[in-house]
Structure 1
């Protein structure tokens, strides 16, 4: 149960359900877990055990260390992830996640897309920093894992300039799309503060969303000109958008992105979902790399079995509503997801007599025939063939079977060590290192002796003093747009950053014209514009 990642209190509950007379307490469970860990390590450090298991388990991995011998970078890919990555090598989503390990090192998570439009973990890399050199090293390892043959055609990221630069170096032929969702949230966090009226903001944001969806380059240029004309007075917001985002317009504006085979992936939500699922397995952010790697393996193995089961099921079972004669040559040969996408286009081709002009966007991005092509085939009395469908959606030629994982051979180490590890922990660190070096030669291992990484200073804002989360929590800190959206406005002036009690205009009284008129002497009201007056409170009942 410990190896399966079950928590100690749940282990104790399970044991008591099996044996109501059990006298064990939680401390006994913790002691057993500690003994299991000591037996697995067999006198090795956690880093040494990690590298041994990566080597013996068929992983593709690599590590870097600094001059002091401290681990600074670690890349690894599970054998099952390698199999999936080589089967589905067209599109990948890349993003870093945080609060996964006690060294506070960011974890680069690379996620792929299957025939069923589901996600899978491709590989992981712990990085010392998030600079271009760090990303180049990780992506080079990723490229080596793919055997330099199955190169991705599209990579989706957020606007991480260092990662974008590394992709250009390692995968020059791949198109690096930017996450539309992250762009919208960045604009929200940077531009909303320039709008006092909520309706004006919604109109601004809606116009921007329309601009992103421009179907052609001509439509984009017209939309941008109209956008500038309509919000000319919001110069700061427009300058931010132009300088920060529109220099990368080919990476997220639909007029350009619809030319690339991204299979509908224009956001990094796959990576966000993968991060969330991974942290369910991790549970704590204070584990070392050995513990984190084991938890990651649990997630990968469960995910792999689900994909393998779904692949087998769809080869023999397809929903009855998709079994039409036009798809006869595709049934049980492509995924149900692809069949459903084709069925939508089929309905358009058969029910809509006036199709719009074909822009080839659907075929270019999804690798599937569009309604226009289907209508031509139907008029000619033909049906769809496998050659009309991109290999991404094929399931008939996928061979994702059982992969034998070589278990780490600890017997040889245990025979040499005996009960050595019981005394080993009492020795000073320098003596431990000398002993481990000697033992590594005895067992014939070539794994380098590395030290634990130093704790990094994570990038970004430090945790706030209010509502501090547990130090072991894996929950991320709120993003800037979440802070902006959650900001409470002053009930007096509708401003942000203060409340009614501390409002700088708390002495300004908002009054209607009918309330102001009696305060103005007779004859004066004809000489001034009452709507331009500010009435200030002077004492409890008088005004001036």
Structure 2
């Protein structure tokens, strides 16, 4: 009977398992694998799962149109969302939405915003615009999502205005990082004129390689060029930058990187989120309703990781950070912040640093005391940018670590 249609038909128990895994957005091939493991006599094939998957989705949607089903999902799950339709055809042109968990995290960490658009995520071929943020524990989280009709300035302005309204209509993030999308850059300048806008250094590096490598044929000269380029972009002072600029003899930057960015100078975090989302979707022709379910999984995973990192910083004191200079900071700033401080301490040991030769990039870019300031007995809480001290603005994670001492710390983090 194996291979016969009747034999491949799912039993009631098998069908319930398929429906359960479908709700969890498990891929059909993984559903089939799970089915085979749990139901030893199952002889279904992948097409059987696809058929059951399609039938279940159609039953769930009942008589609603795909768009009605999408709106129902957004409303029932408590999303903040806005949309606009075509004046004549009444077809959806733009949709902006924020997961309620993402909104809570963003209200706690509103300083850094990274943006980028991608393609091949939905069957309507709408560009997908994603906005992400960063916590003080160095975790990435999704802030908002938008399907836009075109990648034009007015489309981005509409989406960013909706973003602004989700918190406060006068709100401006302190740092915005994008690639060199002129339309998006124009929209950022209009909606968030007070924000520091940084171009993605990774994209700039790629452009340097793309446009300069064909003209520099000598491998030795090319290696020397890259070395000088890296020296230029990491110049610690204005004087050093200008000297390196003259040496390189190329117009790369108008000013050195001295803007607050909390360690974010590329859009790699957004690119990474694009990749995660596409992996969840497993198709470039996805329904928008299924899109929302994939986002649910991603946001829930982000929330767990963020809360875990915050709780570890609250309750675990790592032995390598047991310096007297950190005495006021334990359980107040994150382990990631301590790691930055530790690197500066090592730098201050390697060089004799003063205000004149320190460069103070950690102070100007991260909002933290830099190497020449760390000669103090203890780091005052007041000299740290508030971005790094927000460990109590989110509800606690379900796992409680308790008061772990140094001995327990060494067992967990060897």
How would you bin the TM-score normalised by the shorter chain?
A: 0.7 to 0.9
Is it true that 1:123 corresponds to 2:148 in the alignment? no
Asked if structure 2 preserves the Cα contact closer than 8 Å seen for 1:63 and 1:75, the reply is yes
**Number of aligned residue pairs:** 375
For residues 347 and 402 of structure 1, the distance between their equivalents in structure 2, rounded to whole angstroms, comes to 33
TM-superposed CA distance for 1:353, in Å, is 6.8
Which residue of 158, 165, 172 maps to 2:179?
Answer: 158
Larger RCO, structure (CA 8 Å, separation 6 or more): 1
> TM-score, length-normalised on structure 2?
0.84
Asked if structure 1 preserves the Cα contact closer than 8 Å seen for 2:83 and 2:95, the reply is yes
Provide the residue aligned with 2:154 in structure 1.
Answer: 133
1:323-402 equivalences under 5 Å are 323-349=322-348, 351-352=349-350, 354-356=352-354, 357-375=357-375, 377-378=376-377, 383-400=378-395
Calculate the aligned-residue CA RMSD, in Å.
2.2
Deviations 1:404-441 (A, max 9, x none): xxxxxxxxxxxxxxxxxxxxxxxxxxxxxxxxxxxxxx
Structure 1: runs of 5+ lacking an equivalent: 229-237, 404-544
Asked if structure 2 preserves the Cα contact closer than 8 Å seen for 1:208 and 1:227, the reply is yes
Structure 2: runs of 5+ lacking an equivalent: 1-20, 399-414
Provide the residue aligned with 1:422 in structure 2.
Answer: none
For residues 196 and 348 of structure 1, the distance between their equivalents in structure 2, rounded to whole angstroms, comes to 37
* Structure with more of its chain in helix, by fraction: 2
For residues 202 and 352 of structure 1, the distance between their equivalents in structure 2, rounded to whole angstroms, comes to 27
Asked if structure 2 preserves the Cα contact closer than 8 Å seen for 1:369 and 1:388, the reply is yes
Runs of 4+ that moved beyond 4 A: none
Which residue of 14, 32, 48 maps to 1:28?
Answer: 48
Provide the residue aligned with 2:36 in structure 1.
Answer: 16
Deviations 1:303-353 (A, max 9, x none): 11121122223211121121233222211121101112122223444x357
Which residue of 91, 96, 114 maps to 1:75?
Answer: 96
Change (3 A) 1:226 1:13: closer
Change (3 A) 1:199 1:347: closer
Provide the residue aligned with 1:39 in structure 2.
Answer: 59
Question: Which is greater in Rg?
Answer: 1
Asked if structure 1 preserves the Cα contact closer than 8 Å seen for 2:237 and 2:359, the reply is no
Asked if structure 2 preserves the Cα contact closer than 8 Å seen for 1:315 and 1:395, the reply is no
For residues 328 and 216 of structure 1, the distance between their equivalents in structure 2, rounded to whole angstroms, comes to 31
Provide the residue aligned with 1:493 in structure 2.
Answer: none
SS at match of 2:142: strand
Which residue of 133, 136, 149 maps to 1:112?
Answer: 133
For residues 221 and 273 of structure 1, the distance between their equivalents in structure 2, rounded to whole angstroms, comes to 34
SS at match of 1:101: coil
